Every structure is written in C-alpha cells, then in structure tokens.
Amino acid sequence: MSEGFSPRLANASGVAKDFRFIEAGMPGTTLRTWYYLLKDMDPNADRYRAIVLSIPSYREVSPDDPSLDDRELDADMLAPILDTTDFIELANTFPSPDKRHVIWSRVATWALNYQMDFQDFLLHPRKRLRAVRWRNSVGSTMGDDYEGHPESMVGLAFDAGTHSLTYPARLSEIERSAVSQRFLTPYTYPPEPLDAYTSEWLEKIFARYEHSSTQIVIARVPTSPLPGVFNEADKPMAHFIDKIGHHPNVILIPEDTFLNLESPTYFFDTNHLDAVGREHFTSQMVDALAAALTSGHPQNRSVHTQSSDRAQSSDRATDVVHSNQPMQ
C-alpha cells in the first residue's frame, strides 16, 4: 500500500482537519505479520482511532503463494521485535514440523545477532547515533514526499477471443514476459487455504481489539490493471466476509469502492498503482474512511497508515492506522 496511498495528499485534503493520516505499508507482509506487528505497535490496543487493513479480494480466489502459513519470511521480518514468548508462539503457527523447527532454532541465535549489532555500535557509535537522530527527526513522515511511479500501463489490453495480450510500447521483452506470466498463465491453486488463512488471522486481529474503542476497517484495494482476465466477480464471496458481521467494531468498505481504478491508466506494473492511480486512490480512500468513521461518531479523528517504520506514539483521539495490502 506504500505505492497506492499518499499521506501527504490525504493530509492536504478537505478532511485533514478531522483526520491525520500516516502511511505504514511494509512490502511483502501478510496478515500473520500484521497481527504481531500490531501487538508491538499497539501493545494495549488503544493507540489508534482505527486500523485499516487492505485485502486483495473479498472473493474465493487462487493465492499467489499456496503456502502462506509456512512462509519463513514472516519470522525473518518479525525477529527484531518479538520477545521469546511471542516468537515461540509464532513458530507454533507454522503447520510444517520442519518449518517449526527452523523457526524455533532462531531463538538460540538471537544472542549472537545482538552481539554483532552491539559490536557494530561500539565500532561506529557516531554513525549509529546520527542514524538514530535522523530517524527520530523524520518519524512516520519519512515517505510523505514520495509521489509514485510516473509511468503507466496504457496500451495493455487482453483479447479474450484469442487469449492474447497487447503490451505497452515502453515494456522490454523481459517485462512483457512477466506480464504474460501474470495474465495468460494465472495461478490455479485452490482458494480454500487462502480463505481459511485470511479468516484465522483476521479473527486474531479482531479478538485483540474486541474490547477496544479502536475500529478495524477492511478495504478491498485495486489489484490489477486487467480485472476482466480473472473474472473475479463470478467467484463466490470468501467465508471470512460472513464473519465480519459478528464484530461491531469492524467496518467493511464496499467491494466496488475502488474497482474504477483497475485500469492500465492507473497502474505502472501488473500489481501496483502509478502516480495518477495513487492520487485517485488516496482521494477515494479518504472519502470512504471519513464516511465510515464519522458516521455516528461526531468527535474529530485522524487516520494513521502503517509504514515500514513502526508507528510513533500520537494523540489517541486522532489516530487511525492504515496497513499495506497483505499478500495473497
């Protein structure tokens, strides 16, 4: 979501007086990583007015990765912030015994990792302190000036009759091959494991905030410049959608809110919004959040979106968190 949402544009919008937006997208994260990241960022489940979790689809679709629940990268991402108890708990969420053993073994290497980090600090203290001062000075605004990719996918088209693609003239042969791989040979993994995985980790996040005044917002975000290739609208709704209604502090943004942005005009590759799409998506997301979060709640609020750096503390009365799109 760091490509698609601009906190600078959001905070310059007409609703900025009521909301404060902080982008917090982390590339390659999953719902499992966000469950643990939120435990670290928001230990008492009371720091933010709302948390926005972006979902690639509300439908039963084939996952890009058929083994999300066994993905070691989740442990790599979370290792710096989890204590031993949480890390062992994380390891036990991996269904494969071999993967659990690998993750457990990393606990034994933590001391060595921190020893090397401390040694680096002793060797280069001024460099480390400068980095800390810079990091503290920019805080959660580090990516605010990023404007997105200026190039688009205009020229990309799919012919259902011949099952062929027309490519943007700017694409190299390697890039055309990647586009072809994405659209002409789509993933055919069964959708049920992804649906079960999404349900499991959304339920865990919902449970953390069950007795909190923080609201969880679920949004289906733009995911493809050629949505007609996958015919997602013909697929049944995922089971996790039915469970959302059982949680009074969870808001589901309507599925079609951002579908108008699924066009080559608004993408720079097969998955990510370009600068124009970023601008339009930010405007539409701000409007959707303002409508959802102020309905029945007259007090002022802000929106916080999750970035690669962990969120800094802020005024509880004006914070809403917006995460990046978890991987499928």
Instruction: Give residue-wise pLDDT tens across range 111-168.
Output: 666 777 788 888 999 998 998 888 788 766 767 778 899 999 999 999 999 999 999 9
* Portion of the chain with pLDDT greater than 70, in percent: 85
**250-252, strands of its sheet edge to edge:** 250-252, 215-220, 50-55, 320-322, 304-305
- Residue 317 pLDDT class (50, 70, 90 cuts): very low
User: Rounded CA gap, 307 and 119, in Å?
Assistant: 28
- Residue 15 pLDDT class (50, 70, 90 cuts): confident
Q: For residue 46, what pLDDT is reported?
A: 92
- Residue 314 pLDDT class (50, 70, 90 cuts): very low
Instruction: Evaluate if residue 325 carries a pLDDT over 70.
Output: no
List, in sequence order, the alpha helices (H) in 26-124. Answer: 31-41, 72-78, 84-91, 97-123
Q: For residue 203, what pLDDT is reported?
A: 96
Residue 227 and residue 259 in contact, taking contact as beta carbons nearer than 8 Å: yes
Instruction: Give residue-wise pLDDT tens across range 253-303.
Output: 999 999 999 999 999 999 999 999 999 999 999 999 989 988 744 333 333
DSSP SS3 for 301: coil
Q: For residue 320, what pLDDT is reported?
A: 55
pTM of the complete model: 0.84
Count of residues for the chain?
A: 328
Q: For residue 84, what pLDDT is reported?
A: 85
The pairing of strands 50-55 and 304-305 is unpaired
Q: For residue 22, what pLDDT is reported?
A: 80
Instruction: Evaluate if residue 319 carries a pLDDT over 70.
Output: no
In the chain, domain spans: 7-322
Q: For residue 301, what pLDDT is reported?
A: 37
Instruction: Give residue-wise pLDDT tens across range 197-240.
Output: 999 999 999 999 999 999 999 999 999 999 988 888 889 999 99
